[in-house]
Amino acid sequence: MDESDALQQLSTSTTGLTSAVAKKRLEQYGENTLPQSRERSLFDIVLSQFSDFMILVLLLAAIISVLIGELQDTLAILFIVLVNALIGATQEFRAQKAVEALRAMSAPEAKVLRDTKTATLAASQLVPGDIVLLEAGNIVPADIRLLETQALLVDESALTGESLAVDKQPHKLNADDLVIGDRQNMLFKNTLVTRGVGRGLVVATGKSTEMGRIAQLLHTEPNVKTPLQQRLSVFGRYLAIAVIVICALIFGAGLVQGQPVILMLLTAISLAVAAIPEALPAVITISLALGARKLILHQALVRNLPAVETLGSVTYICTDKTGTLTQNKMHVEMVYTLAEGRGSLSSQQSELGQIMALSNDVTEVDGRAEGEATELALYAMAQEMGFIKVALEQTLPRVALIPFDSERKQMTTMHQKNTMHQKITVHQKNTAHQKAEAVVAYVKGAPEEVLAQCVEALQNGAVLPFKTGKVLSEAAALADEGYRVLALAKREFQTLPEVIDGQNIENNLTFLGLVALIDPPRPEAKQAVADCKSAGITPVMITGDHPGTAMAIAKRLGIASDPQQLASGKLLAQYSAAELTDKVASLRVYARVSPEQKLMIVKALQTRGEFVAMTGDGVNDAPALKRANIGVAMGKNGTDVARQASDMVLLDDDFATIVRAVKAGRRIFCNIHKFIKDTMSSNSGEIWTLFLAPFFALPIPLLPIHILWINLITDGLPGLAFSAEPAEPGLMRRPPRPPQENIFAHGTWQHILWIGLFVAALSLGSMAWALSRKVEYWQTIVFTVLTVSQLFHSIAVRSERESLLSIGLLTNRPMVVAVSMMFLLQMAVIYLPALNGIFHTMPLPFFDLMVCLGLSSLVLVAVELEKYLLRKGFIYNP
């Protein structure tokens, strides 16, 4: 709208509202604050942590353990469950903290016109129709339509992702479908005024502002379960059903065989407890905690432990551009002159070097250059080539300045070629008595503005007539390649003009050259993108920056190569949810996107079955960070809101760190999977041994105490030792495991089945051998074979494919220590008289012990043979 229409729409005027009208509107619209978090009671939060099926199964196991007198098992299970509940409850507060951080960003006060007078009010009291006065350093207190501006620059990076401060102006915009980053006549709540002054009309407050809508999105977006949580939930259901069926069968078979009812009941219950891997949550928690500790060394801080494993399942990484893929520092990459075309700034190009060094407002503070990003880049490049501002100012002191504004789109500094000078500001007359010495005006700004004012050009030291077309085409080409382009020109005067303004100075210019600036990619980003692709992960750029800039960086890094892979926020606004779900498969770069669109992109990918990691640093990223399967916030330049909504924080804001974290996540999942494979194979061996014995007319092989002991020493320390297993070779050359994939996929259930049968065959064979010799210690033999074979199995499955000889026995020292300790404990149970009575065991003769150990070691041989056939491609390939 025109300014007058906007004022009329809100029934106000340029002198503001009266206190009476403002009071009524405050009752109508409410306070200018963001929505409060919906708090849950501590009891509700803790109680909700016990709704997972696997946790319920473990609690049932704890109750059964009490009934059969195994108090130690009960305490262990309860401890594990409580630790997991504590971790889960901690995560419940993350969304609430994110909104609290968003509220903390709000401006505490605002300068407004009330009753035609200027007043300072609490920002919470602003209402639509208020007239607000703003200056550099102010936090914008509401969404505001500008009415007047003077050199107004606003940092909107937290809201839009735009890396550079935005020029604002009050004039009507003809398009009605502009994304937030292109609404140049609007200011948005919680953004920061970095330069200039302005006056504007409040059009939205509280939850109706852009920031308010983001806060509401944070409330409404649910947390997404990790792949491991989903897989374990399914695993828990199937395991509970299987355990009930198997225990019922064994109980029935024992009764048919004529065994005592109490003995069979205790055996079935003991087997049920043994079949449930109660150490699994502990192994998972410890694996994740160790992984998180290692990630700290790689500059990744994990806020949500399950997120460590989630990284291993990521199929898409949606990354911000500025500061993550790029250095977040503007840099002069090349200059263009009519004489030399494109190239780098050289010490011979003295005019270009001087204008870059002098025509800026950069200052040195404690030895560090401070100023606007573009000017800092010009200053740094000039200094690098030997054009030092402080030294040049001795011979070319600044005597006048025409500041940049959004209408002229250029800035001019005027320098006198002697040391006697007096500074003149815009619109002032030169009334000082000065020597009539030459003055040079250095102009820099938008090419379309500066070039239109050029009449000649400097070429090989000669001044020639200037033709705009060729240089404008070059400027357009550079802009299409993603550069921010500035035109540099000069004009010389015999004496300082009396009137210093744009109309009088910025014409009849001599063209010097174009400067191409860009926020360059991080040196390691290109290799990190390549590593993603080789690992089967698709990197996607989502940014609030200009489409041309985004595509240029994407091409350099190998994220995209075809313009068809780019979509702007304006184009996304035309898609329905279903259309976007179809399109996202081919899109790799999204530019000028809104917070809702970022959220839509994440949802569309998830609808397609993708597991999405989302990076971000701004308030606008927070809803998408929360919705993504794993949200990754920036630690150096990110906002508190983004960090609170995330699962992981990059301390160095580096995309390559995400790739390293993905590798760590894959290793952790791989090790958890090895533990599940190991413990379920061990349980399978026990179940098959007990189940098949009656069919071979053999007595019950084990007592309940034996089953619980085997479960304790084979699932305990050896299971935890899997968390220390190094990464498998070629881990990052494999595609990610599909999120919906069952935990028993790729031959896992086949392995569990045949290893269980193989162990049962060894156990029942040793039992039959002992019974044929009519030795009293036959049960101790079965007990020993079952226990030691499972320890050998733990060593064998340390690698999915590689031989134990190739990975080395000592590469996982905790496993060696754990297995050795468990073997010594088993020997103590057999040979210490004090333990013989408790465990109903008898000492074994040396020959019989060697037979037991020899039979048990066959498990290691069998698994190594399986891995050999796997490497040769004769059997399933995980």
* Helices then strands, each counted (H, E), the chain: 34, 27
Tell me how far apart the alpha carbons of residues 498 and 626 are, in angstroms, rounded to a whole number. Answer: 60
Tell me if 309 sits within 8 A of 228, measured CB to CB. yes
617 is catalytic: no
Query: How many other CB atoms are found less than 10 A from the CB of residue 197?
Result: 15
Cβ-defined contacts of 64-67 (< 8 Å, 24+): 64/269, 64/272, 64/273, 65/273, 67/269
- Using CA atoms, how far apart are residues 365 and 358, in angstroms rounded to an integer? 17
Cα(432)–Cα(417) distance, integer angstroms: 16
720 φ/ψ angles, rounded to the nearest 5 degrees: -65, -30
User: 196: how many CB neighbours lie within 10 A of its CB?
Assistant: 20
What CA dihedral angle connects 808, 812, 814 and 820, to 10 degrees?
-20
Residue 203 and residue 201: Cα distance in Å, rounded? 6
The secondary structure of 400-414 as a DSSP string is EEE---TTT-EEEEE
Please name the residue that has the structure tokens 């259930």: 749
| CB neighbourhood size of 690 (10 A) | 26
Quote the tokens at residue 877.
């390939």
Q: Hey, is 113 helix, strand or coil? A: strand
Cβ-contact 489, 446 below 8 angstroms = no
Catalytic member of 320, 617, 647, 654: 320
Kindly report the three-state secondary structure assignment for every residue of 431-499: CCCCCCCCEEEEEEECHHHHHHHEEEEEECCEEEECCHHHHHHHHHHHHHCCCEEEEEEEEEECCCCCE
In the block, tokens 């200009």 appear at 546
In angstroms, rounded to a whole number, what is the distance separating the alpha carbons of residues 156 and 192?
A: 7
Q: Where are the alpha helices (DSSP H) in 559-654?
A: 569-572, 577-583, 595-607, 622-627, 640-645
Interior/surface letters 606-633, b for 16+ CB within 10 angstroms, e for the rest: beeebbbbbbbbbbbbbbbbbbbbbbbb
Exposure string of 472-504, with b = 16+ CB inside 10 Å and e = fewer, is bebbeebbebbbbbbbbbbbeeeebbeebebee
Q: Which amino acid is at 589?
A: V
Amino acid at 718: P
Sheet harboring 589-591: ordered strands across?
300-302, 648-650, 630-634, 612-616, 316-319, 538-542, 589-591, 566-568
From CA 610, how far away is CA 489, in angstroms rounded?
A: 52
Cα distance between residue 15 and residue 115, in whole Å:
8
Nearest to 198 by CA among 184, 208, 179: 184
- Tokens representing residue 516 in the block: 């191409």
Catalytic sites, residue numbers: 320
